[in-house]
Amino acid sequence: MVQTGLDVFFSERLSAFRGCRIGVVCHPASVDSNLVHIVDRLCALGMRPAHLFGPEHGVRGEAQDMVGVQEDVDRLTGIPVDSLYGHALETLSPRIERLKSLDLLVVDLQDVGSRYYTFIWTMALSLEAAAKAGVPVLVLDRPNPIGGEALEGGAVDPGYESFVGLGSLPVRHGLTIGEVARLIQAGMPWSDGHFKAPLDVDLTVVPMRGWARSDYFETTGLPWVLPSPNMPTVETAVVYPGMCLVEGTLVSEGRGCTRPFEIFGAPYLDGYALAKHLGDLPGAHLRPLVFCPTFHKHAGKPCGGCQLHVTNRRVFQPYRTGIAILRALRAMYGGDFAWRTEAYEFVSDRLAIDLLTGNTRIREGIDQGAAFPDLVATFASEEASFRERLRPHLLY
């Protein structure tokens, strides 16, 4: 079984931090191999954290996507909590004065290997704030559940930074959260986002034991805990780098259903026609269905659509698959299909789809009826350069 950074911390490094005032950035999946939450275990060992910091969805994970969290105290332990996902942009970073009251900030967050997933940016902003406060940071590493070998997607262009891409990373980045921390500390000189320059932060990453870059989460022997309400399974994480693109449209990405991101559709959509139009995708199969979301887009309305079944993870390319699906939806349902125009992740002057892809090229190409290879060409050349840029920060 793989040992996470949390398990290694408790078995080998705990004694060095007894007596410290500790702050913890955590969420529901911040558990050890026996499913004991980091906060509960610290309390049981007499090292009650002084403060907790909750990312999007909150410390215990009860809030839905893009819902501001107002937490003052952890209901289970009574420990004070600061939300790092409120109702305004400035709530995304820990307050400097709060960090200055601590001796150590511990970050333990399960990521899912996609630039869109906001936990890596919560960690990045926490590193930035800790640098200003002069507080050391301990990042407890966890597996990338979709492996650490494949990369997909291109850069985030200047002006398109957001909380789904504060720095320029591939959509499927192939890094663990500890490796992202090392990258942020070193600086991202190819990015015009927050983290272009190195951070003068006292960072320690506690690495895992036994994880290999080829490992998907099931091979680790670790229990899967939902890191957010709409990430119920590893299969969800596998499709997420592509199917999260549906968030940038008025098509349902399956929120309000039991298989979000695997299921998608809309009241006007014919899943059988769509599946026939696309045929079998590399490493995946579209199964037509009808579903009725209980909340979110098209709540309470029957929606035609498909479920994306991954048949071969080694062949499956989620980002390219998501683009192919959007291209088909636009071509088949141009009169009904629409891009989301509401504010997205605190940004109101850019379309959500452009924030997700990092630029306008995919959306404009789809609207103009561009061939699929031409859409892929807008980012494919950047994938190889990213692989070389990220290599010095790898731990495994």
Q: Transcribe 12-75 into DSSP letters.
A: IIGGGGTT--EEEEE-TT-B-TTS-BHHHHHHHTT---SEEEE-TT-SS--S-TT-----SB-T
Percentage of the chain surpassing pLDDT 70? 97
Higher model confidence: residue 191 or residue 206?
A: 206
| pTM score | 0.96
Encoded tokens for 220: 């680790």
Q: How many CB atoms lie within 10 A of CB 35?
A: 9
Cβ atoms of residues 36 and 61 within 8 Å? no
Q: How many CB atoms lie within 10 A of CB 256?
A: 21
Confidence of residue 68 (pLDDT cuts 50, 70, 90): very low
Residue 386's identity, in one-letter code, is F
Strand (E) or helix (H) holding 356? helix 352-357
SS3 state of residue 2: coil
With CA atoms as reference, report the closest residue to 215 among 234, 242, 241, 232: 234
pLDDT at res. 188:
95
Percentage of the chain surpassing pLDDT 90? 92
Kindly tell me if the per-residue pLDDT of 66 is higher than 50. Answer: no
Phi, psi of 386 (to 5 degrees): -65, -40
In sequence order, what DSSP letters do the residues of 272-295 get, joined into one string?
HHHHHHH-SBTTEEEEEEEE--SS
End-to-end CA distance of the chain: 16
- 72, with CB counted inside 10 A (0-12, 13-18, 19+), is exposed
pLDDT in tens, 116-148: 999 999 999 999 999 999 999 999 999 999 999
SS3 state of residue 393: helix
Rounded mean pLDDT of the chain? 95
Cβ atoms of residues 381 and 368 within 8 Å? no
Exposed e or buried b per residue across 296-321, where buried means at least 16 C-beta atoms within 10 angstroms of its C-beta: bbbeeeebbbbbbebeebeebbbbbb
DSSP 9: I
Kindly tell me if the per-residue pLDDT of 337 is higher than 80. Answer: yes
pLDDT at res. 222:
98
Largest CA distance in the chain: 63
pLDDT at res. 70:
61
With CA atoms as reference, report the closest residue to 83 among 96, 73, 70: 70
Higher model confidence: residue 176 or residue 72?
A: 176
Confidence of residue 71 (pLDDT cuts 50, 70, 90): low
Confidence of residue 338 (pLDDT cuts 50, 70, 90): very high
- 241, with CB counted inside 10 A (0-12, 13-18, 19+), is buried
Bridge partners for 304 per DSSP: 266, 290
Bridge partners for 53 per DSSP: 25, 82
With CA atoms as reference, report the closest residue to 91 among 132, 53, 64: 53
Taking phi over 0 as left and psi of -120 to 50 as alpha, with beta for the rest, 261 belongs to left
Bridge partners for 139 per DSSP: 107, 205
**Pairing relationship of beta strands 263-266 and 303-310 according to DSSP bridges:** antiparallel
Kindly tell me if the per-residue pLDDT of 61 is higher than 60. Answer: no
The stretch 278-296 carries a mean pLDDT of 96
Strand (E) or helix (H) holding 178? helix 177-186
**Domains in the chain, please, with CATH?**
5-223+388-393 (3.40.50.12170), 234-359 (3.90.1150.140)
User: How far is Cα 316 from Cα 235, in angstroms, rounded to an integer?
Assistant: 12
pLDDT at res. 88:
80
Confidence of residue 320 (pLDDT cuts 50, 70, 90): very high
pLDDT at res. 62:
62
Confidence of residue 67 (pLDDT cuts 50, 70, 90): very low
pLDDT at res. 72:
83
Cβ atoms of residues 56 and 45 within 8 Å? no
pLDDT in tens, 82-103: 999 988 888 999 999 999 999 9
The stretch 70-88 carries a mean pLDDT of 86
pLDDT at res. 192:
86
User: How far is Cα 211 from Cα 204, in angstroms, rounded to an integer?
Assistant: 18
pLDDT at res. 75:
85
The stretch 242-249 carries a mean pLDDT of 98
